[in-house]
Chains A and B, each alone.
Chain A
Amino acid sequence: MRSAIADHVIDPAALTAEVAHDRNGATVLFLGTVRETNDGRSVTGIEYSAYRSMAERELAAIVAEASREFGTSDIVVEHRVGTLDIGEVSVAIAVAHPHRGAAYDASRYVIEHIKRRVPIWNREHYSDGTREWVDPTAHRAAAEAVR
């Protein structure tokens, strides 16, 4: 198990190599990447910042929970901070397990809990030169108001 907040470019191949073991029959690699549009606006890059010490603790806690719940210690997670271009990897989760079902479930658990709990924020840079902090809760509130 390993987790980190990374200042450097994430190397997905290195993460999958890190979880490889002869006991495993399945490896799931999840990559989050910077998308060129969000809510219809043209994005040129995303700046990630974190409450670093707490983000490291929270990431480690999530990985430990996933390990206990899904029965594998072969889990490695890295989340970037800094300014990323379109297509760059912002988060990578590698999980290996004897069986695919649990590998998928553990991967899903880790990304969903990152999105809920890890103190990381992102500010999108748009093609018109403006920048805005992304607030996923505002989006959810708006979606519920429409419903």
Chain B
Amino acid sequence: MTVTVLLFASYADALGERKIPIDVPNGSTVGEVVRRVREMAGSARLPTEPMVAVNEEYAKADRRLAAGDEVAIIPPVAGG
């Protein structure tokens, strides 16, 4: 199945992408998708357990994904 990884701010700069489609086995978790992203060039600054949102809601590493899910890797937020 394919999920879409979204990157922002410092993470988008580091990987040079804002949106990456990734093929993963059915039933993969957030943690597995993060591991895949951390294998990519430029991902050195991604922590092992970054904040992640699935379809615009914060999710834990063991959350199972479905095809088409939007997996946003969220750098430390700095609003205000």
Contact = CB atoms under 8 A, between A and B. Distances in A.
Nearest to A80: B79
Interface residues of B, number: 17
A119 B76 contact: no
B62 interface: no
A111 B80 contact: yes
A120 interface: yes
Given A121-B8, A123-B9, A133-B10, A79 B79 contact: yes
Contacts of B78: 115, 120-122, 133-136
A49 interface: yes
Nearest to A133: B10
B65 interface: no
Contacts of A130: none
A119 B10 contact: no
Interface string A60-92: 000000000000000000010000000000110
Interface stretch (A7-15, A20-28, A50-58, A100-108): A50-58
Interface of A: 32, 48-51, 53-55, 57, 79, 90-91, 111, 114-123, 133-138
